[in-house]
Amino acid sequence: MGVRKEITVSSLQKKKAVMDSPSNLALNNVCEAFSQADMSDMCSLHKEKLKLFCLNHWEPVCFICMVAKIHFGHTFRPLDEVQKDYQDKLQDGLQEAKKRLKDHIELRTLIFVAWVLGYVVFLHSMRMIWTAKYARGPLARSLLVNMVSEGERTAMETQEWYKCCPDLLGESLRPLFVQSHLDSGTKAFLKQSIEKSNWLFTQLYHSFVSSVLTPLVSRTSINGFLGRGSMFVFSVEQFQKLLKVGPDWKAEKLLDLGAGDGAVTEIMRGHFREIYATEVSPPMKWHLQRRNFKLMGIDEWQWNGLQYDVISCLNLLDRCEDPLHLLRDIRRSLVPNTGRLILAAVLPFQPYVEVGGKWQRPQEHLKIQGKTWEEQVTNLSREVFQKSGFEVETVTRLPYLCEGDMYNDYYVLDDAVFVLKASNVTDESGQ
């Protein structure tokens, strides 16, 4: 029997793995026969050229092998002819296999797209129901009635955002309280938040990216990366009312500590010639630079020798490690006599710091006493601000608003916003 060889149809050997169906069994046998041949063109038994292919033994042979006893009565064909025939058949089989694979991938893709669209339609339908944009049947009609009352409740809720009983404030704070209301600037922010929450595909994308990045980076950085989660503390009119200034009032320097994406800083911008800001989150720093604010390091602003006409510390006191030390640094950095600190604090006061996407208690934990908003405002003034060398000039109650998502149009917390000035007498414990 002639020794088998690896002929020039090596491409058949590499592609035969795809030909695994029963209809291609003969083709597999040919490929197996070719793959077992050695590199020589000569029959090692008879030293003759391998020119024929035995269709019974499925192997290349020479002319002497053809008349040998082992191949007696067998059928032979020229090797080149067999190679060409089976190359064509193998190519046809390969194309058929590729087509089946393509059809399979297209089917799986179609099923996945249909599932995603179904999921989106389901979420959108649920949102339509809960926002009462459509009413169908008795259940939907009852929901519509509830939504009408819910709209009324929303109006009542916005009134509660600003509600304060001055009689419950400390005696020294009562004449300093400034009553605020839902104004055009706040309404514009709420309208924009509601519109954004209806961008369904955008909200789905935000939800997916947020769930992926949450274990890796802080929530603030995720919001900065996605360009979402802008905050609203006060409008231009409310800012002017708190500082008791007019639209044309100008000062030299503003420093906004923990400025986020700069949306609140932008509201104060028109009253200052130089705007400085600090921020920890890299994506938020990019937003601040895009607004052309001067960035300063969180350990730089208090030592660079600059003094500021206004320093804003908005909802930062409950999110820093050492709030009393921060207040003392702010006091030293204000312009003497005329410098003012605008400080906002979420009440109830619950201090936490965010480290790598996780929340933990700060090193210095301020314990603010009181059960009501008024009681906690009074306690903050007496036990924190006075001991840090500040006295309250004005105070108001405002909603701390944040852009919403696919589940809520917006989020709201209860804020106390103070305007503080350095007092002439500082408690020794605050030095």
For residues 35 and 167, state if they share a domain: no
Alpha-carbon span 402 to 263, nearest angstrom: 11
Domain final residue pick, 66, 81, 100: 100
Average pLDDT taken over every residue of the chain: 80
The tens digit of pLDDT for each residue in 353-387 reads: 876 656 677 778 788 999 999 999 999 999 999 99
For residues 94 and 181, state if they share a domain: no
**By the 8 A CB rule, do 92 and 98 touch?**
no
For residues 169 and 58, state if they share a domain: no
pLDDT at 138 over 70: no
Q: Identify which has the larger pLDDT, 98 or 338.
A: 338
The tens digit of pLDDT for each residue in 15-64 reads: 444 444 444 555 555 555 555 444 457 787 787 888 888 888 888 888 87
C-alpha of 178 from chain center: 37
Structural domains in the chain (count) = 2
* Angle subtended at Cα 280 by Cα 394 and Cα 361, rounded to the nearest 5 degrees: 75
| Residue 258 falls inside a structural domain | yes
**Domain that includes residue 276, residue range:** 161-430
Alpha-carbon span 185 to 241, nearest angstrom: 13
Walk across the sheet containing 76-78 and list its strands: 59-61, 52-54, 76-78
CATH number at residue 84: 3.30.160.60
Measured CA distances, 58 to 1, 76, 220 (Å): 12, 10, 70
Backbone angles phi, psi at 274, to 5 degrees: -130, 130
Alpha-carbon span 300 to 296, nearest angstrom: 6
For residues 231 and 317, state if they share a domain: yes
| Residue 149 falls inside a structural domain | no
For residues 59 and 170, state if they share a domain: no
pLDDT of residue 64: 78
Q: Which range among 49-53, 237-241, 300-304 shows the weakest confidence by mean pLDDT?
A: 49-53
Q: Identify which has the larger pLDDT, 130 or 236.
A: 236
CATH number at residue 379: 3.40.50.150
**By the 8 A CB rule, do 328 and 231 touch?**
no
| Residue 117 falls inside a structural domain | no
pLDDT of residue 232: 95
For residues 325 and 421, state if they share a domain: yes
- The residues near 163 (Cβ < 8 Å, ≥ 6 apart) are 397
Looking at this protein, which amino acid is placed at residue 323?
P
Residue 378: exposure state from Cβ atoms within 10 A (0-12, 13-18, ≥19): buried
The tens digit of pLDDT for each residue in 314-328 reads: 999 988 888 999 999
Domain final residue pick, 79, 100, 121: 100
The tens digit of pLDDT for each residue in 92-119 reads: 888 888 888 888 888 888 888 888 777 7
Count of Cβ atoms closer than 10 Å to residue 417 Cβ: 24
| Residue 144 falls inside a structural domain | no
Q: Which range among 152-166, 287-301, 312-326, 413-427 shows the weakest confidence by mean pLDDT?
A: 152-166
